[in-house]
Structure 1
Amino acid sequence: MGILSVQGNKIYFQKRDEIAVLEAWGKDTLRFRSTPNSSLTEENWNLLIQEETKCTVKQEDNTAVIVNGILSAKIYNNGKVTYFKHGKEILTERSEMAFLDRFREYSSLGADNHRMTVVFQPKEGEHFYGLGQEQNDCFDLKGSSSRLIHKNTKSSIPFVYSSYGYGFLWNNPAIGRCELTNNHSLWEADSTKQIDYLVVAGDTPGEVMAKYADLTGHAPAFPSWGSGFWQCKLRYEDQEELLSVAREYKRRGIPLSAIIIDYFHWTEQGEYKMDPKYWPSPKEMCDELENMGVKAIVSIWPTINPNSENFSYMDERNMLIRTDKGQYGIFPFYGQQTYIDPSNPETAKFVWSKVYENYYKNGIKSFWLDEAEPEILPVQFENLRFHKGNGAEVGLIYPYYYNKLFYDGLKEAGEEQVISLTRAAWIGSQKVGALVWSGDIPSTFDALRMSVKTGLNMAMCGIPWWNSDIGGFWGGDIESDYFRELIVRWFQFGIFCPVTRLHGSRKRTSNQAERNPGILERSGGDNEIWSFGEKVYPILKNLIELRERLRPYIHKYMDIASKTGASIMRPMFFEYPEDEFCYTLGDQYMFGEEILFAPIVNQGQTERKVYLPKGTWIDINEKKEYEGGTFVTMEADIEHFIAFVKKDNHILSVF
């Protein structure tokens, strides 16, 4: 048995090979830390310091209890911790040892680092949501397991919302795993100095997410231009091609908010400047775009190799990710690359100085942060050395610091509205203007179906700015009937996402001319809304015009997201937590409080069932009223989509 003691508002536990502390950390929130080392660290990672809250701590013979608002916890003298909301048990640790009371497991890796594991009892009927984004076709994560690691199409944000009315935050940037299976819930770090997790209680999902935002940071104000339509493709090869596309949108009277200059516009990986051969006058280009009301966004990669003029300077000053074994190359792409290390403050200063000089001064003030995981081949984070430590211990922090580099630089330059499109995120990424997208997913209906669930789970782990490549990223044949149907259905989904952005590497057509013969990374097929045939064009044009009419509504909820952490894209249970059906619905969702959207995600489908919660709902197509509390079957040919608006709501007029 161990020793329990109370010091101030904290409970301390000690036994052979373990010390632990349980304490309040903000309203209705408790934080637990433990280690087999001689002391706990005070590293909070991205966790924000909370004001002291009124809590009570009481010690009895074999237990100690801490009460913080509606959340309380009891720790026994064998080390077991159990959590209660309003006095009802919601979460309890369990030992995986058959004959020993060991409630956390530690496996030494040398020095102060261990593989650490904590396991909790399963709860009957419990559902889990969040954990970042992954193309795994799961909405309810109960019964699933996941590697805690970033990869292209996968961002691990170790927070889940439980249908028992609490959030669980694994406050650790180590590579690891999470199992939310039927026999237990398990959290593990491959290499760390301590177990560190928080439990956040609330009476509604909205309350839990608001407290989570208080713990990890709120998204800034959403840019006024960001709610419109973003045009992108892989890739515009030169300045004149980009401008011709923007001019054509203008000529056709189609609202366009942003156009993106993709990768390999630069002179070399790790050189933050545009190739003057293809982009001779970026300042004049940006001025023309601004006059059309269009923002220029530039893709920047964190890759760098010895051919870069910056490599030696950065390498000698430990501004790059290093390897513990072997040479610098950790990502083969037009030669061996390594990555800048934005967790080093000196790296951030140096890279921003280059970006400021070569992009910002030319009018480019928004950026696409690709390869933000970073992408490692082979996937051996334990061989990486960051400024913050070994990759196995801190590998999940990279996308946060990569976004922070640009956020801090833009704010210092005087920008009030900061948004960065990024391919990965971690705890707190929302507070540095991260607009996360789901990575390089295929152009298939399966990927569209999965993307709906992905976006909803991202919303439930504190990322209110999210989108996907409309049409998927790779494999799209713009001349095929399959893709033309897919692009319409995906565009309909994209209108009801926080950001509407068309992108993809389309197959080149047989009659497509070589614009710049011999160029490195030539363009894919055309990807403007007039590229997909005469039948598709007016449908997409009408959808963009609808998005334009929705923009005041969208900004209303983006303001709410900044204040409360509630995404505009919300699972049905977010608005209707008392309705058991809503916890099973990963193929429809609320877009704000007033709009229910039910995307069509299967080839050839023109009808589907939709669940309407209690209340009176109006179909946006026929303007017919339906009483909720049941399923209805709705039809929508390719020119229409399925959505409902609450009765007596002005937003119906937008449709």
Structure 2
Amino acid sequence: MKVVIKAGQNSFIRKFDDELLIVEAWGDHSVRVRSFADMKEEKRLNALLEGSQKTNGKVEINVNDHSAELINGKIRVVLDHRDRLSFYHENGKLLLKEYIRLRAVKHDDGSEDAGTIEITKDFNSTLKLKSREYRSNLSSDFTVTTRFESDPDEKIYGMGQYQHTFLDLKNTVLELAQRNSQISIPFYVSSNGYGFLWNHPGIGEVSFAKNLTRWEMKSTNYIDYWITADDSPKNILRNYANVTGKVPKMPDHLLGLWQSKLRYRTPEEVLDVVKTYHEKGIQLSTIAIDYFHWPKQGEYRFDEDFWPNPESLVQTLKEEYQVEPMISIWPTVQTDAQN
């Protein structure tokens, strides 16, 4: 199949070997990369705001038969003759580069016919590992892997909240899934001067190994990620907020002292704790009423047998003690629940 590379509005596309690749400017100093296994561009559920692709500066695009380049402010992305993307800061520093271990030929499609391939003077490998790889599942979708070269000295920060002690996430493996004790937010800031968002809501895994960075989804048919370059972590986070949404100011009642324990059985237990703080001259901001205040899992209401008048409890907490109650809700549902 012949490689097709075309320039679009603030973007370029590449079609080859049943893959549609779209690289486009998306926000200031930022680029979005999407790949579709079925050659069809479709809107998918993602974290980027509608209209956030607008940029304040001029976007420069250069394409030829075998390569392409896009420049958006401080970031430059290059697609080379081996179908690999490399991302650079405007000062020329390499930020991130897709990982391939293929034969040194142009647009390697796996063919063993020497008459159909063009040999190049590049690093040669027979491992047949692409940067963007789709492996068919038994159903109609794919296991998708995206690979990047790893800088052993790079430091990686972010990715949400995991139960470990590591601030620097280099050399860790992280599950991309939400759990009771885990919040996965697949965005990180690199010490090399860029921010990276894995823009996919699916369950998967990322490995920040010394020799390879690998993102993997078990069941999907597309790849979507966003990368930004800037001169400070503050500016990188600003670029990220501009395309994903800005965090609202934390309410005052959540900035003080919180009280929480495994659970409170009755409103009397809640009030006893709040009264004790009050008697000791300690001002609570928030008290968390956690699990099993409901009758059954999935019924988002108070159990009338133990909490006959929750409205009165809330009024007392707020008006007499200036304490804001926070009610915990679990995402579990019993088969015999009302919902």
TM-score interval w.r.t. the shorter chain?
Answer: 0.7 to 0.9
Residue 92 of structure 1: aligned partner:
97
Residue of structure 2 aligned with 1:225, choices 236, 246, 253:
253
Matches within 5 A, 1:412-561: none
Which structure 2 segments of 5+ residues have no match? 103-124
Name 1:52's counterpart in structure 2: 54
TM-score, with structure 1 as normaliser: 0.46
Letter in 1 for 2:54: E
Residues 229 and 258, structure 1, Cα contact 8 Å, conserved in 2: yes
Instruction: Judge conservation of contact 1:3–1:77 (CA < 8 Å) in 2.
Output: no
Tell me which residue corresponds to 1:299.
328
* 1:37 equivalenced with 2:35 (yes/no): no
1:40, 1:194 within 8 Å by CA — same for their partners in 2? no
Amino acid at match of 1:21: I
Paired residue for 2:300? 272
**1:207 maps to 2:235:** yes
Report the alpha carbon displacement of residue 71 of structure 1 after superposing the two structures with TM: 0.2
Alignment map for 1:179-218 (pairs within 5 Å):
179-218=207-246
Q: Which stretches of structure 1, 4 residues or more, deviate above 6 A after TM superposition?
A: none
Kept in 1: contact 2:143–2:217 (CA 8 A): yes
Structure 1 residue 159 corresponds to structure 2 residue 164: no
Q: Distance in 2 between matches of 1:219 and 1:169?
A: 17
CA contact (8 A) 2:5 2:65 kept: no
Which structure: greater helix fraction? 1
1:66-215 correspondence runs (5 A): 66-86=70-90, 87-97=92-102, 98-99=125-126, 102-109=130-137, 112-215=140-243
Pick aligned residue for 2:269 from 217, 220, 241 = 241
Please tell me whether the aligned partners of residues 13 and 77 of structure 1 are also in contact (alpha carbons under 8 angstroms): no
Provide Cα deviations, 1:193-248, integer angstroms capped at 9, x if missing partner: 21111111110001111111112211122112111111111222111121122122
> What is the distance in 2 between the residues matched to 1:11 and 1:88?
22
> Would the aligned equivalents of 2:15 and 2:39 in 1 still touch at CA under 8 Å?
no
Distance of 2:211 and 2:277 partners within structure 1: 55
Letter of the structure 1 residue corresponding to residue 327 of structure 2? V
Following the alignment from structure 2 to structure 1, what is the Cα–Cα distance between the partners of residues 86 and 222? Answer: 19
- Superposed CA deviations along residues 147-200 of structure 1, whole A, max 9, x for unmatched, are 222233222221121111001111111111111111111111111121111111
1:285 aligns with 2:313: yes
Q: Secondary structure at the match of 2:255?
A: coil
CA deviation digits over 1:349-400, x for unaligned, max 9? xxxxxxxxxxxxxxxxxxxxxxxxxxxxxxxxxxxxxxxxxxxxxxxxxxxx
Q: Report if the CA contact (8 A) 1:135-1:154 is conserved.
A: yes
Distance (whole Å) between structure 2 residues aligned to residue 219 and residue 299 of structure 1: 21
Q: Percent identity?
A: 36
Offset, 1:103: 2.9
Match of 1:13 in 2: 14
Matched, 1:22 2:23: yes
Report how far residue 61 of structure 1 moved. Answer: 4.8
AA in 2 matched with 1:2 = V
After superposition, the CA RMSD in angstroms is: 1.8
* Pair 2,274 (structure 1): closer, same or farther in 2 beyond 3 Å: same
> 2 CA distance for matches of 1:186 and 1:28?
24
**Hey, which of these two has a bigger chunk of strand by percent?**
2
CA distance in 1, matches of 2:333, 2:225: 35
Residues 1:278 and 1:31: Cα distance change in structure 2 (over 3 Å): same
CA contact (8 A) 2:3 2:66 kept: no
**Count of paired positions:** 310
Tell me the TM-score normalised to structure 2 length. Answer: 0.86
